[in-house]
Structure 1
């Protein structure tokens, strides 16, 4: 299961977990509040922030 996490680099919202539920976690978070670090993760044609190192 995936959950919201905070990026340790930019301190913005990202995700942590198995990777199967990223859209469910990230789609409700406004773009300006999302982690901007690279590399992005592409799921079903959409770009998401990279997985957090820990929660």
Structure 2
């Protein structure tokens, strides 16, 4: 569900802030795009379910 996804997103973002400070910006942006895609997919699935 959406709340679980948000918790996982927050965990990933925290890990990214801690461990990826020296990571290439493209890697950080890639993770951001994956997170957004998951959010959009979950929202679409929720809307289709209605």
Under a length normalisation based on structure 2, what TM-score does the superposition of the two structures give? Answer: 0.26
**Which one has the bigger strand percentage?**
1
Q: Which one scores higher on RCO, CA 8 angstroms, separation ≥ 6? A: 2
Under a length normalisation based on structure 1, what TM-score does the superposition of the two structures give? Answer: 0.25
